[in-house]
Amino acid sequence: MTSRDSDHQYRLPQHFSLLSYNIQMGVDTARYRDYVTQGWKHVLPHRARMQNLNRIAALLSRFDMVSLQEVDAGSLRCGFVDITEYLAHRADFPHWYRQVNRNIGVIARHSNGFLTRFEPTEVSHYKLPAAPGRGAMVFRFGETREAFTLCSMHLALGRRAREKQLDFLSEVLKGRPHLVVMGDLNAGCEAPEIRRFVMRNDLMEPVCDKPTFPSWRPVRKIDHILVSRSLNVIQSKVLDYSFSDHLPVSMELELPEAARAVA
């Protein structure tokens, strides 16, 4: 966990904005053949990565809380730049958190990232079961039973592994009345494991019909922002911002008064 020094935030705003984005480590993929012809970009540093990250940072700067998937915590392929920290500085976020889920030393440090303008009162990291290299971070903004909670995650590719991971997270998140779950879930809203998780935690998603992958011709909705029914969604959309092989998902949210107090 890393953040800049700043005054503690004692109250969340009534309205704030969210973004979930799988940034593919800053690799700009525009067609299927790029996975082959540009595959070297996933293992070696290149100037275009930083240029693409700067474009991504320009988008992130418009939001208050950002969940990032497929980032690197500082290895050879990104010139030993911690991508979460770099984007936090570039987009002017005072607080950032990383979770390294697969550490291959100097070759790669596969990570999740989270950027926020409001300091959480509690941060928990979880290694997810059933598949290596997958994790979730849970952020609690307050100390009361009504505290706002946000879970940022990246789930497994396989259905059975996702089922076990979502069952695990349902136990972790049980009893959270004002909850947001966001990230790359690698499954659509119609998937049985997603439906079960949504029903079990009394969640909803306004834009299930808007695909996010692949970014150049989206046909699958695998990137999500799920919210408690106690929260008011002002607007939610999939953004046409294709600097990864995923499109980002955004949401503007209104909190009930009981969820805004932090301390």
**pLDDT digits over 195-235, tens only?**
999 999 999 998 899 999 999 999 999 999 999 999 999 99
Query: Once rounded to an integer, what is the mean pLDDT over residues 94-121?
Result: 91
Q: Are 98 and 126 in contact (CB under 8 A)?
A: no
* Domain membership flag for residue 114: yes
- What's the pTM? 0.91
* Domain membership flag for residue 140: yes
Residue 7: pLDDT above 50? Answer: no
Please report, for residues 3, 62, 163, 180, the alpha-carbon distance to residue 233 in angstroms, rounded to integers and kept in the order given. 28, 17, 27, 11
For 31-90, how does the pLDDT look when each residue is reduced to its tens digit (9 = 90+)?
A: 555 555 565 455 555 777 889 999 999 999 999 999 999 999 888 778 889 999 999 999
Considering its fold, how many domains does the chain have in total?
1
* Domain membership flag for residue 8: no
Please report, for the domain that includes residue 245, its CATH number: 3.60.10.10
* Domain membership flag for residue 45: yes
* Domain membership flag for residue 69: yes
Residue 246: pLDDT above 50? Answer: yes
What's the pLDDT score for residue 27?
A: 78
Residue 29: pLDDT above 80? Answer: no
What's the pLDDT score for residue 6?
A: 44
What's the pLDDT score for residue 103?
A: 81
* Domain membership flag for residue 7: no
**Owning domain of residue 22:** 14-259
What's the pLDDT score for residue 40?
A: 46
What's the pLDDT score for residue 186?
A: 97
* Domain membership flag for residue 23: yes
* Domain membership flag for residue 4: no
What's the pLDDT score for residue 2?
A: 47
Nearest Cα neighbor of 79 from 58, 109, 120 is: 109
What's the pLDDT score for residue 11?
A: 80
For 108-163, how does the pLDDT look when each residue is reduced to its tens digit (9 = 90+)?
A: 888 999 999 999 999 999 999 999 899 999 999 999 889 999 999 999 999 999 99
Q: Are 213 and 245 in contact (CB under 8 A)?
A: yes
Q: How many CB atoms lie within 10 A of CB 13?
A: 13
What's the pLDDT score for residue 4?
A: 42
